[in-house]
Copies of this chain bind each other. A is one copy, B any other.
Amino acid sequence: MSKKLTKREDGYSKWYNELVVKADLAENSGVRGCMVIKPYGYAIWEKMQAELDRKFKETGHENAYFPLFIPKSFLSKEAAHVDGFAKECAVVTHYRLKNAEDGSGVVVDPDAKLEEELIVRPTSETIIWDTYRRWIESYRDLPLKINQWANVVRWEMRTRLFLRTAEFLWQEGHTAHETKNEALEEAELMLNVYAEFAEEHMAMPVIKGLKTESERFAGAEETYCIEGLMQDGKALQAGTSHFLGQNFAKAFDVKFTSKEGKREYVWATSWGVSTRLMGALIMTHSDDLGLVLPPKLAPIQVVIIPIHRNDEQLDAISVKVNEIVKELRKKGVSVKYDNRTTYKPGWKFAEYELKGVPLRIAMGPRDLENGTLEIARRDTLEKKNISQDTIVSYVEKTLEEIQNNLYNKALDYRETHITEVNTFEEFKDVLNNKAGFVSAHWDGTTATEDKIKDLTKATIRCIPLNNKIEEGKCIFTGEKSVQRVLFAKAY
């Protein structure tokens, strides 16, 4: 298989699909809409998980595990929730197969029909709140702050690797609180945790905001989100945090005895990020040569490739390289020495470029003589010859520089792609010719939002949290508005 990618300008979507497969991140499986996450892609996801998990624990959350299946009747208990989630889902109706009478294989045993169908969880609010009813008796049991790492299934008709798959991996936090304020604070806290992770680890700038009513999570009273901007000018929702009010407490009858001895419904939040972040990471930084990874999430931060004509040369180079590897590892740098003789250096160069390894070191016989080596940055493609003696500090400094450079480059792109418009003509013009976020006044109605979406495919990504109040007129209806919102075409 050729490792050469379609160029972004020749087909952004094609470029993305090829990159995901060729960089060994993921591929489609024999099951419609379900992906296989390959070892290299999974290693990046593990790095994401580790950092997020650390942040969740640091903010007082514990992990637990709840069932994969949700009884059908549970979904119906919260009215808005069932409308949002009980539609396209995987339904388990039987619990046994048997041998076909004609010997052709196995068939579903009609005698093994479940009394009540089970739904493969699309999200776990219902099964978790059914459990919380048993766990919460008094204010002493609150707050209850639990996270789950799990797989979920939503029967998407059109799927794309990482961005929209029938099964995906995620974490879902579910918390219960004594007061409305405490729940709101939790929802905001977790939004900030996500934003910090996105910016500091993924090097992806995000806008924090509130969703409009029509884009809210089914069952939430308020949905907070972080929105990133991809290189093609389309927005991507990277994480959400929901203030659920008392909706699930009421649906599942979860009350607590307050300090004053009263029985009250508890207040709730839920929040999640998923393997979709992998898609966001890829599309924020990568280029026509392949993946570009921020050092903090790169499974391999430095790859070292020997350049040699014979075994003696390789042996001599290896002695020096092994010293360097040891020094780098001591500093916590993840380094790989690729001394395979089954592949040529040129092939390896292309391979690690495709896989987004932040730094590549090459060392040949002349380097060995001169005490030098060649080091190349994946982000800028810049090459330098430096002294072997300075390699450790050079690597540490440069990894930090790459991390910052990727963030700043993405921030710069984002900042130059937020366009204020005041008419619907301008609005359409920006969407068609520039893309990115469009900042515009909106009359606050779902009707207008829907019409704009029908006409332009742009949706309101969010009402930014740091919005300034500003009198204006809705670009579509001319009605009064008090603030601008961010529209964009989105993944």
Contacts and interface: CB of A to CB of B under 8 A. Distances in A.
A90 interface: yes
A68 interface: yes
Contact of A91 (B65, B88, B95, B130): B95
Contacts of A134: 27
A67 B97 contact: no
Interface in A59-111: 62-76, 82, 86-98, 105-106, 108
B36 A106 contact: no
A128 to B, nearest CB: 9
A72 B105 contact: yes
Given A82-B106, A86-B106, A36 B91 contact: no
A76 B106 contact: yes
Contacts of A92: 90-93, 120
Nearest to A35: B67
Interface stretch (A38-46, A374-382, A391-399, A467-475): A38-46
Contacts of A35: 67
A70 B151 CA distance: 15
A42 B64 contact: yes
A94 B114 CA distance: 13
Given A43-B62, A90-B118, A105-B73, A67 B130 contact: no
A131 B29 contact: yes
A19 interface: no
Contacts of A46: 63
Interface in A137-180: 140, 146, 150-151, 153, 155, 167, 169
Contact of A63 (B27, B39, B118, B127): B39
Nearest to A106: B86
Interface string A402-426: 0000000000000000000000000
A11 interface: no
Contacts of A146: 39
A34 interface: yes
B153 A36 contact: no
A153 to B, nearest CB: 7
Interface in A207-233: none
A352 to B, nearest CB: 17
Contact of A86 (B63, B95, B97, B117): B97
Nearest to A93: B93
A417 to B, nearest CB: 33
17 contacts: A29-B66, A29-B130, A29-B131, A34-B67, A36-B64, A36-B65, A37-B65, A42-B65, A68-B151, A75-B106, A76-B105, A88-B95, A90-B118, A91-B108, A93-B94, A93-B108, A151-B151
Given A31-B71, A68-B153, 12 more contacts: A30-B130, A34-B68, A36-B64, A37-B64, A39-B63, A42-B63, A67-B167, A68-B151, A69-B90, A73-B105, A76-B106, A90-B92
